[in-house]
Structure 1
Amino acid sequence: MNKSSFFIAGQHAVIEALRNPNRKVLRVFLTEDAKKNIHKKNSRKNVLEDVKVYFKSKKELDKYTSKEQLMHNGYIAEVEHLEQPDLKEFIKEKKDCTFVCLDEVTDPRNIGSLIRSAASFKIDGLIVKERHFPSDSKLMYKSASGCMEHLNIFKVSNINSTLKNLREKNFWVYGFDARGEKNFTDVKWEGKNVLLFGSEGFGMKEHTGKYADFFVKIDINKDIESLNISNSAAIVFHHLSYLKKKS
């Protein structure tokens, strides 16, 4: 296996990787049913052209996902990482821009679901700490349901210094916290913004919180302690998308 390659599983993850001209797909393992489905979903273009394709039984493919207890749906692919976009270059001359930034969020399923929502509502990019990001996770790719191919992911060595630099470039940093000063829907959400979310269990680190300009909350039933991070993010992304369409 190529050193920089890894395996992904699931219909949407594999098909979107094949459709992405920037993604190098080395090998694809399919059941016969999966092959028929790929051709049905891509009738105008043969996405399996120039790709090594191996036909396997469901049982043979199970060995690729048994450790993660994942459903592969008859689709496994060996892929290489996408070329990483440069954050400094990306923000040059941008007047309106929204990033989501994760502070020590490590659960691959939550990250994958959040990526799916971010891509669905056209968030400009995700900022993560490289050391904590599960880059090769089949679970993350499966949860993202193909959206890994549609979102800019910026892996940085230090979240705090990245937030500091973005603030210097006229970005406002909004920390999402249940004890926030006001409801996030009361913000106008204009210009350049960073949506900062803390870890699933411990919330935002105090030191990282110092780089937030404001703390905002999602107004929920007071009898409920909190929402799952991917659910919280989806609510916020949808609201921002709605405001954009209105403006």
Structure 2
Amino acid sequence: MKGGRGSGRASTGQVRLWGRHAVEAALLNPDRQHRKLWATREGVASLDGELPPDFPVEYADAADLARLVARDAPHQGLVLECAQLDDVFLGDVIRDAEGAPIVVLDQVTDPHNLGAILRSAAAFGAAGIVTQDRHAPPESGVVAKSASGALESVPWVRVVNLARALEELAEAGYWRIGLTGHTETVLADALPAGPTALVLGAEGEGMRQNIEAHCDALARLPISDRIESLNVSNAAAVALYAIAAR
């Protein structure tokens, strides 16, 4: 079996996914081109539905599969190598959003956080997420595993210029709310009646000044003073729930 222990790296132009939810969602996604599935027989049996008769599967034991994924990653007997998803364009997401919120992430670089935000975006009906292409994790097995299948269903837009993307959202009628702890306005008071773009910055540093300047309003979550802040993925989940519950 190719690939060193704990590498998780796929062939050029491919991405390697692992875990039942991530793999199953990718297998069911008609926009994915699949190259090969490495699996235990128990892993294949756990999938919802049967694989096509000619699907390329190599059966292996769990220890062999562990060589194909990131170190100590819970592969659950399934490792899929497939083509990366095609690029998604912001204009298309806006067109199809029908007023659903869009999440904009400013230099959120942890793939676990990105995956968790994708999962919350799916749970609360967000139309998509937007990241800057040079300051965000690439599509990967870690992102997919943390997203628990949402990588296949939530459009992920990568842009060169995040400020320009925020201008495009404003032109489309989105009210851009930046989450920060440096304001007295709570999120509930900042929410508009119309479409919302939720902007979140990296943990610790928060939004960059230029990105903050492109927001229509700044708001905070009303958390207890017993804790300074929430993890960015937790903050995104709470804020998306508040938007969905308006």
TM-score, with length taken from structure 2? 0.90
Q: Provide the rounded CA distance (Å) in 2 between the counterparts of 1:171 and 1:51.
A: 43
Q: Which of the residues 5, 29, 54 maps onto 2:58?
A: 54
Q: Provide the rounded CA distance (Å) in 2 between the counterparts of 1:114 and 1:93.
A: 20
Q: Provide the rounded CA distance (Å) in 2 between the counterparts of 1:64 and 1:188.
A: 45
Q: Relative to structure 1, is the Cα distance of residues 151 and 205 closer, same or farther in structure 2, using a 3 angstrom cutoff?
A: same
Give the secondary structure class of the aligned counterpart of 1:165.
helix
1:76 aligns with 2:79: yes
Q: Which of the residues 37, 42, 47 maps onto 2:46?
A: 37
Aligned to 1:24: 33
Q: Return the letter of the residue paired with 1:194.
A: A
Kindly indicate whether the alpha-carbon contact (under 8 Å) linking 2:177 and 2:190 is maintained by their aligned counterparts in 1: no
Q: Provide the rounded CA distance (Å) in 1 between the counterparts of 2:96 and 2:11.
A: 38
1:95 Cα deviation from its structure 2 partner: 5.6
Q: Return the letter of the residue paired with 1:201.
A: G
1:176 aligns with 2:188: no
1:93 Cα deviation from its structure 2 partner: 8.1
Q: Provide the rounded CA distance (Å) in 1 between the counterparts of 2:26 and 2:239.
A: 27
Kindly indicate whether the alpha-carbon contact (under 8 Å) linking 2:100 and 2:125 is maintained by their aligned counterparts in 1: no
1:101 Cα deviation from its structure 2 partner: 0.3
Q: Provide the rounded CA distance (Å) in 1 between the counterparts of 2:217 and 2:62.
A: 50
CA deviations on 1:98-136 (whole Å, 9 max, x unpaired) are 100000000000110111010111101100011123223
Q: Provide the rounded CA distance (Å) in 2 between the counterparts of 1:64 and 1:157.
A: 32
Aligned to 2:153: 150
Q: Relative to structure 1, is the Cα distance of residues 72 and 92 closer, same or farther in structure 2, using a 3 angstrom cutoff?
A: closer
1:59-208 alignment, distance < 5 Å = 59-65=63-69, 67-92=70-95, 96-208=99-211
Give the secondary structure class of the aligned counterpart of 1:28.
strand
Kindly indicate whether the alpha-carbon contact (under 8 Å) linking 1:99 and 1:195 is maintained by their aligned counterparts in 2: yes
1:13 aligns with 2:22: yes
Kindly indicate whether the alpha-carbon contact (under 8 Å) linking 2:97 and 2:127 is maintained by their aligned counterparts in 1: no
Kindly indicate whether the alpha-carbon contact (under 8 Å) linking 2:101 and 2:125 is maintained by their aligned counterparts in 1: no
1:2 Cα deviation from its structure 2 partner: 5.1
Kindly indicate whether the alpha-carbon contact (under 8 Å) linking 1:68 and 1:139 is maintained by their aligned counterparts in 2: no
TM-score, with length taken from structure 1? 0.90
CA deviations on 1:65-104 (whole Å, 9 max, x unpaired) are 2x44211111100011122222123324866231000000
Q: Provide the rounded CA distance (Å) in 1 between the counterparts of 2:140 and 2:97.
A: 32
Give the secondary structure class of the aligned counterpart of 2:178.
strand
Which runs of 5 or more structure 2 residues have no equivalent in the other structure? 1-9
Give the secondary structure class of the aligned counterpart of 2:181.
coil
Which runs of 5 or more structure 1 residues have no equivalent in the other structure? none
Q: What CA RMSD, in Å, does the superposition of the two structures yield over aligned residues?
A: 1.7
1:221 aligns with 2:224: yes
CA deviations on 1:26-48 (whole Å, 9 max, x unpaired) are 1101101112212xx22xxx234
Q: Relative to structure 1, is the Cα distance of residues 159 and 97 closer, same or farther in structure 2, using a 3 angstrom cutoff?
A: same
Q: Return the letter of the residue paired with 1:4.
A: G
1:181 Cα deviation from its structure 2 partner: 3.4
1:49 Cα deviation from its structure 2 partner: 4.2
Aligned residue pairs total: 237
